[in-house]
Amino acid sequence: MKRSIQFIMAHLPFGEHLNHIAQKAAGSFSPEAQLWSLVAQAGYLRALDERHPLEGATVVEIGPGWQGLGTLLLHLFGAAKIIAFDHQPHFRRRLFDSLVETAEASIEALSNASGIDRAALARRLGDFPDLDYRAPGDAAVTGLPDASIDLVYSYGVLEHIDRPDLEAIARETARILKPTGRAAHNIGLHDHFASAGLGNGVNFLRYSKRRWNFWNRNAILNHNRMRLPDYFELFADAGLCPVWSQRELRSENLEALRSLRIHSDFRHFGVEDLAASHLYIDLSSNGANETNLI
């Protein structure tokens, strides 16, 4: 049902706006949902900050979304400037303000998750980020100077972008990163319909490219179904070197693969590459040595 509704919305005028309304009605932007997302992504950024300090950084953010959750957190971690690219102008100031209110009301939980002391959080929550919002914008053609960016960042975005566009984004990333800069991406490799209780995290590997694209290649549903080795290959071809990475491997995905008939497009992958549900990766453009890779 969810897939059918989103398929219809994706082919209607203003379909993305209608999908936003549906998400809001379903509670995606409730204070409880906002707090859960803030705490989860704050933990991710805390670990990133330990590997690559964010204080004073100039950041390119890919896909800030409707409420600018990553944008707010990058600001809270001390990013000096955030240049955010989105394919459509989704950002809503009222949702951002609501997010700030949720953070202020739960500042202790956010402090515990982020490792940032409450006084610093309170101070930064009172200031709007130095944000250059570009939407419609193209992260593959930023117009930014060579070697000018400290961090290129995305969280749950790259899996929704088709491979040719990702290749262009990766090449642009390699161009704009400083020699000391990093790209950091949290990539969801799993079937996102599993989050709605439909199938499992690998169910979408059953389908041919043609059938999958019919249902899912649109502005709302799109998932490229790239597997972990595909990303490593893509980044290497663009001149980006992994300096740190982890994968999330769920036992339920491994179990599902025992009986799932995988389409021939994916049978050349190993079982763990098929089952991996997330890839967390930091990359450099200067050929830095690999330090902690999966």
pLDDT per residue as tens digits for the range 204-231: 999 999 999 888 876 677 999 999 999 9
Residue 50 binned pLDDT confidence (cut-offs 50, 70, 90): very high
Beta strands in the chain (DSSP E): 58-62, 81-85, 131-134, 149-155, 177-188, 241-249, 276-284
Task: Using the predicted structure, report yes or no on whether residue 163 has a pLDDT greater than 60.
Answer: yes
For the residues 175-196, what does the mean pLDDT come to? Answer: 94
Task: Using the predicted structure, report yes or no on whether residue 239 has a pLDDT greater than 50.
Answer: yes
List, in sequence order, every residue forming a beta bridge with 84; answer none if it has no partner. Answer: 61, 133
Residue 43 belongs to a domain: yes
What is the reported pLDDT for 194? 84
Residue 289 belongs to a domain: no
For the residues 180-202, what does the mean pLDDT come to? Answer: 90
What is the reported pLDDT for 77? 99
Residue 12 belongs to a domain: no
Structure tokens at 122: 């309170």
Q: Across the chain, what does the average pLDDT equal?
A: 91
In contact, 38 and 104? CB cutoff 8 Å: no
C-alpha span between 222 and 179 (Å, rounded): 33
> Where is average pLDDT lowest: 4-18, 54-68, 106-120, 152-166?
4-18
pLDDT, tens only, 66-113: 999 999 999 999 999 999 999 999 999 999 999 999 999 999 999 999
Residue 15 binned pLDDT confidence (cut-offs 50, 70, 90): very low
> Where is average pLDDT lowest: 12-16, 148-152, 173-177, 289-293?
12-16
Task: Using the predicted structure, report yes or no on whether residue 21 has a pLDDT greater than 60.
Answer: no
DSSP letters along 19-40, please?
A: HHHHHHHTTTTSHHHHHHHHHH
Residue 193 belongs to a domain: yes
Its domain, for residue 111, covers 31-284
Task: Using the predicted structure, report yes or no on whether residue 168 has a pLDDT greater than 90.
Answer: yes
Domain CATH number, residue 76 = 3.40.50.150
For the residues 157-167, what does the mean pLDDT come to? Answer: 97
Task: Using the predicted structure, report yes or no on whether residue 32 has a pLDDT greater than 70.
Answer: yes
For the residues 231-253, what does the mean pLDDT come to? Answer: 98
What is the reported pLDDT for 197? 67
Residue 2 belongs to a domain: no
The b-or-e profile of 118-157 (16+ CB within 10 A means b, else e) is: eeebeebbeeebebebbeebbbbebeeeeeebbbbbbbbb
C-alpha span between 222 and 135 (Å, rounded): 19
Task: Describe the crossing of helices 93-105 and 69-76 by its angle, rounded to 10 degrees.
Answer: 50
What share of the chain in percent tops pLDDT 90? 82
Contacts of 262 (CB under 8 A, 6+ apart): 205, 206, 274
Number of domains the chain contains: 1
Residue 16 belongs to a domain: no
